[in-house]
Amino acid sequence: MIYSSYKKSRLRVEDVYGPDSESEKENSSDSEHVTAPKYGRHQTEDAQQPSTSKNVFKNGDFILVKLLSKKTEYRYVAMCTGLEEDDEIQVVFCKIGDKTGKLFKVDEQDISFITEDQIVQTLPTPNIILKGLRVFYSFKKPVNVFEKA
């Protein structure tokens, strides 16, 4: 072998970028967390507010969002999908699936960025219902939505 004196060694991230900082260790988790400052404007379903100054949202958390259009306030169910700069939360909106206000379907084309003051309520984790290839989310209690027709 021509390169017999050459010893292969694996390149490690620490060798290139240095040791991990403490903040990077805290942020390394299996699911991405979304944080938004807490101003007391939205409530959790269980009425238990964390004592920290920020609410933490994970990917897949469901929230009730208010959107204003001229003189009308609409309320939509949305699922958190990420955090962007300036504390904006990326969400995908859901459409109501029945007249009871308990069944919702994610509208994958309706992605938006919202701010913390648009969050009305943190919703409990819904049950997943499969109907063929369609995925629906079912809440135990009706959600007070007001969607544009």
Distance CA 102, CA 81 (A): 21
**Which of residues 3 and 133 earns the better pLDDT score?**
133
- CB burial class (10 A; 0-12, 13-18, 19+) of residue 80? buried
pLDDT for residue 74 is more than 70: yes
pLDDT of residue 26: 46
Residue 86 pLDDT: 76
**Which of residues 43 and 60 earns the better pLDDT score?**
60
Residue type, 125: T
Q: How far apart are CA 149 and CA 142, in angstroms?
A: 19
What's the pLDDT band for 19 if we cut at 50, 70, 90? Answer: low
Place of tokens 């989310």: 137
Instruction: Determine the length of the chain.
Output: 149
Give the DSSP per-residue string, 86-118: GG-EEEEEEEE-STTS-EEEEEEEEEEEE-GGG
Confidence of residue 92 (pLDDT cuts 50, 70, 90): very high
- Segment 45-56, tens digit of pLDDT: 444 443 334 667
Helix (H, G, I), strand (E, B) or coil at 134: strand
Residue 84 is predicted with a pLDDT of 73
Q: Is 117 left (phi over 0), alpha (psi -120 to 50) or beta?
A: alpha
Q: What is the spatial distance between Cα 73 and Cα 146, in angstroms, rounded to a whole number?
A: 8
| Rounded mean pLDDT, 80-108 | 90
Residue 14 is given by DSSP the state H
